[in-house]
Amino acid sequence: MKYEKLEKGLIYDGSPIQPFWAFTEHKVKGSSIVAWIGPLNIEPEELIDYEDVGLEIKADKMMHFIVEHFDRQPADLKTCYHRQRILVMITKDVLSELGINTTREGDDIYFEGKKLSISIATCSNSSMKIHFGMNIINKGTPDDIETIGLCECLEDMDDEKIDKLIDKICESYINEIESIEEDITKTRVF
Protein backbone atom coordinates (compact mmCIF):
# COMPACT_ATOMS: atom_id res chain seq x y z
CA MET A 1 0.00 0.00 0.00
CA LYS A 2 1.43 3.33 -1.11
CA TYR A 3 1.33 6.74 0.55
CA GLU A 4 1.40 9.81 -1.68
CA LYS A 5 1.27 13.37 -0.41
CA LEU A 6 0.22 15.89 -3.02
CA GLU A 7 2.13 19.13 -2.75
CA LYS A 8 -0.28 21.15 -4.85
CA GLY A 9 -3.42 22.30 -3.03
CA LEU A 10 -6.41 20.65 -4.64
CA ILE A 11 -10.05 21.46 -4.14
CA TYR A 12 -12.06 18.44 -2.98
CA ASP A 13 -15.12 18.62 -5.22
CA GLY A 14 -16.15 15.00 -4.63
CA SER A 15 -14.55 13.59 -7.76
CA PRO A 16 -11.57 12.01 -5.95
CA ILE A 17 -13.96 9.47 -4.40
CA GLN A 18 -14.37 7.90 -7.83
CA PRO A 19 -12.59 4.59 -8.38
CA PHE A 20 -9.15 4.89 -10.01
CA TRP A 21 -8.83 8.63 -9.32
CA ALA A 22 -5.38 8.11 -7.77
CA PHE A 23 -4.19 6.31 -10.90
CA THR A 24 -5.84 8.40 -13.59
CA GLU A 25 -5.10 11.77 -11.97
CA HIS A 26 -1.87 11.14 -10.05
CA LYS A 27 -0.29 7.98 -11.52
CA VAL A 28 -0.55 6.23 -8.16
CA LYS A 29 -1.26 2.60 -9.05
CA GLY A 30 -2.62 -0.01 -6.69
CA SER A 31 -3.87 0.28 -3.11
CA SER A 32 -2.99 3.70 -1.78
CA ILE A 33 -3.65 6.59 0.53
CA VAL A 34 -3.31 10.02 -1.05
CA ALA A 35 -3.29 13.10 1.17
CA TRP A 36 -3.26 16.84 0.57
CA ILE A 37 -4.38 20.18 1.98
CA GLY A 38 -7.10 22.12 0.24
CA PRO A 39 -10.67 23.43 0.34
CA LEU A 40 -13.84 21.35 0.19
CA ASN A 41 -16.83 22.04 -1.99
CA ILE A 42 -18.71 18.96 -3.04
CA GLU A 43 -20.60 19.12 -6.28
CA PRO A 44 -24.16 17.81 -5.87
CA GLU A 45 -23.66 15.16 -8.58
CA GLU A 46 -20.64 13.78 -6.71
CA LEU A 47 -22.57 13.15 -3.51
CA ILE A 48 -22.19 9.62 -2.14
CA ASP A 49 -24.22 9.97 1.05
CA TYR A 50 -27.93 9.97 0.22
CA GLU A 51 -28.53 11.70 3.56
CA ASP A 52 -26.48 14.66 2.38
CA VAL A 53 -28.64 15.36 -0.66
CA GLY A 54 -29.53 19.04 -0.70
CA LEU A 55 -26.91 19.99 1.89
CA GLU A 56 -24.00 22.30 1.36
CA ILE A 57 -20.72 20.52 2.09
CA LYS A 58 -17.82 22.93 2.07
CA ALA A 59 -14.85 24.28 4.00
CA ASP A 60 -11.94 26.57 3.20
CA LYS A 61 -9.01 24.48 4.38
CA MET A 62 -8.94 20.81 5.24
CA MET A 63 -6.50 17.96 5.22
CA HIS A 64 -7.89 15.35 2.84
CA PHE A 65 -7.24 11.63 2.70
CA ILE A 66 -8.33 9.42 -0.18
CA VAL A 67 -7.92 5.70 0.40
CA GLU A 68 -8.31 3.04 -2.28
CA HIS A 69 -8.08 -0.70 -1.69
CA PHE A 70 -7.89 -3.44 -4.31
CA ASP A 71 -7.29 -6.38 -1.98
CA ARG A 72 -10.82 -7.77 -1.96
CA GLN A 73 -12.30 -8.93 -5.25
CA PRO A 74 -15.16 -8.23 -5.46
CA ALA A 75 -14.86 -5.14 -3.28
CA ASP A 76 -17.61 -4.58 -0.72
CA LEU A 77 -19.01 -1.70 1.24
CA LYS A 78 -19.03 -3.54 4.56
CA THR A 79 -15.29 -4.10 4.59
CA CYS A 80 -14.80 -0.54 3.43
CA TYR A 81 -16.81 0.95 6.30
CA HIS A 82 -14.81 -1.12 8.79
CA ARG A 83 -11.65 0.39 7.37
CA GLN A 84 -13.13 3.87 7.46
CA ARG A 85 -13.82 3.43 11.17
CA ILE A 86 -10.25 2.23 11.69
CA LEU A 87 -8.92 5.28 9.85
CA VAL A 88 -11.04 7.63 11.95
CA MET A 89 -10.12 5.88 15.21
CA ILE A 90 -6.43 6.05 14.30
CA THR A 91 -6.82 9.77 13.67
CA LYS A 92 -8.50 10.27 17.04
CA ASP A 93 -5.57 8.43 18.61
CA VAL A 94 -2.93 10.44 16.82
CA LEU A 95 -4.71 13.68 17.78
CA SER A 96 -4.79 12.54 21.39
CA GLU A 97 -1.01 12.04 21.31
CA LEU A 98 -0.78 15.69 20.23
CA GLY A 99 -2.86 16.66 23.21
CA ILE A 100 -6.09 17.14 21.27
CA ASN A 101 -8.77 15.12 23.02
CA THR A 102 -11.73 14.52 20.80
CA THR A 103 -14.89 12.42 20.82
CA ARG A 104 -16.11 10.21 18.02
CA GLU A 105 -19.54 9.18 16.78
CA GLY A 106 -19.36 6.70 13.95
CA ASP A 107 -17.17 8.39 11.35
CA ASP A 108 -17.36 11.91 12.81
CA ILE A 109 -14.77 13.48 15.12
CA TYR A 110 -15.80 16.29 17.47
CA PHE A 111 -13.78 18.68 19.61
CA GLU A 112 -15.76 20.18 22.46
CA GLY A 113 -18.93 19.21 20.67
CA LYS A 114 -17.94 20.91 17.42
CA LYS A 115 -17.57 18.97 14.21
CA LEU A 116 -13.97 18.61 13.12
CA SER A 117 -14.22 16.11 10.29
CA ILE A 118 -16.28 14.56 7.52
CA SER A 119 -16.02 11.15 5.91
CA ILE A 120 -17.62 8.76 3.46
CA ALA A 121 -16.86 5.28 2.16
CA THR A 122 -17.99 3.69 -1.08
CA CYS A 123 -16.93 1.07 -3.59
CA SER A 124 -17.16 -0.26 -7.10
CA ASN A 125 -16.94 -3.95 -8.00
CA SER A 126 -13.14 -3.76 -7.93
CA SER A 127 -12.08 -1.15 -5.39
CA MET A 128 -13.02 0.29 -2.02
CA LYS A 129 -12.74 4.04 -1.48
CA ILE A 130 -12.69 6.28 1.59
CA HIS A 131 -12.63 10.03 1.85
CA PHE A 132 -11.73 11.54 5.19
CA GLY A 133 -11.34 15.29 5.64
CA MET A 134 -10.47 17.30 8.73
CA ASN A 135 -10.79 21.09 9.09
CA ILE A 136 -7.49 22.88 9.57
CA ILE A 137 -9.18 26.23 10.01
CA ASN A 138 -12.82 26.90 10.81
CA LYS A 139 -13.71 28.94 7.76
CA GLY A 140 -16.11 28.44 4.90
CA THR A 141 -18.06 25.72 6.64
CA PRO A 142 -21.87 25.52 6.49
CA ASP A 143 -23.79 27.80 8.81
CA ASP A 144 -26.23 25.20 10.06
CA ILE A 145 -23.67 23.12 11.93
CA GLU A 146 -21.09 24.11 14.53
CA THR A 147 -17.63 23.29 13.23
CA ILE A 148 -14.07 23.71 14.36
CA GLY A 149 -10.56 23.52 12.87
CA LEU A 150 -7.41 21.90 14.17
CA CYS A 151 -5.80 25.33 14.61
CA GLU A 152 -8.40 26.11 17.25
CA CYS A 153 -7.90 22.79 19.04
CA LEU A 154 -4.24 23.36 19.79
CA GLU A 155 -2.59 26.69 20.52
CA ASP A 156 0.72 26.10 18.79
CA MET A 157 -0.58 24.21 15.78
CA ASP A 158 1.53 25.16 12.78
CA ASP A 159 2.28 23.98 9.26
CA GLU A 160 4.96 21.59 10.38
CA LYS A 161 2.70 19.98 12.96
CA ILE A 162 -0.06 19.68 10.37
CA ASP A 163 2.37 18.10 7.99
CA LYS A 164 3.59 15.55 10.52
CA LEU A 165 0.04 14.80 11.55
CA ILE A 166 -0.86 13.90 7.98
CA ASP A 167 2.16 11.62 7.71
CA LYS A 168 1.43 9.97 11.03
CA ILE A 169 -2.20 9.21 10.16
CA CYS A 170 -1.27 7.73 6.79
CA GLU A 171 1.59 5.62 8.10
CA SER A 172 -0.43 4.32 11.04
CA TYR A 173 -3.30 3.36 8.76
CA ILE A 174 -1.03 1.52 6.33
CA ASN A 175 0.64 -0.30 9.21
CA GLU A 176 -2.71 -1.29 10.65
CA ILE A 177 -4.01 -2.76 7.41
CA GLU A 178 -0.74 -4.61 6.85
CA SER A 179 -0.77 -6.01 10.37
CA ILE A 180 -4.30 -7.34 9.79
CA GLU A 181 -3.11 -9.06 6.61
CA GLU A 182 -0.26 -10.58 8.55
CA ASP A 183 -2.41 -11.80 11.42
CA ILE A 184 -4.47 -13.81 8.94
CA THR A 185 -1.38 -15.85 8.11
CA LYS A 186 -0.83 -17.05 11.70
CA THR A 187 -4.37 -18.02 12.63
CA ARG A 188 -5.94 -21.44 12.88
CA VAL A 189 -9.54 -21.53 11.62
CA PHE A 190 -12.36 -23.99 12.24
First and final C-alpha spacing in the chain: 30
Q: Does 85 bind a copy of itself (CB under 8 A)?
A: yes
In terms of C-beta density within 10 A (0-12 exposed, 13-18 middle, 19 or more buried), how is residue 140 classed? middle
Q: Does 19 bind a copy of itself (CB under 8 A)?
A: yes
Q: Does 125 bind a copy of itself (CB under 8 A)?
A: yes
Strand order in the sheet with 103-105: 103-105, 108-111, 114-115
By C-beta, is 163 or 176 nearer to a copy of itself?
Answer: 176
Q: Which of 12, 36, 65, 81 binds a copy of itself (CB under 8 A)?
A: 81
Q: Which of 107, 73, 103, 91 is nearest to 173 (CA)?
A: 91
Q: Which of 7, 8, 53, 160 binds a copy of itself (CB under 8 A)?
A: 53
Residues at the interface with a copy of itself (CB under 8 A)? 18-20, 23-24, 29-31, 47-51, 53, 70-79, 81-83, 85-86, 89-90, 92-93, 96, 104, 106-107, 120-126, 176, 179-190
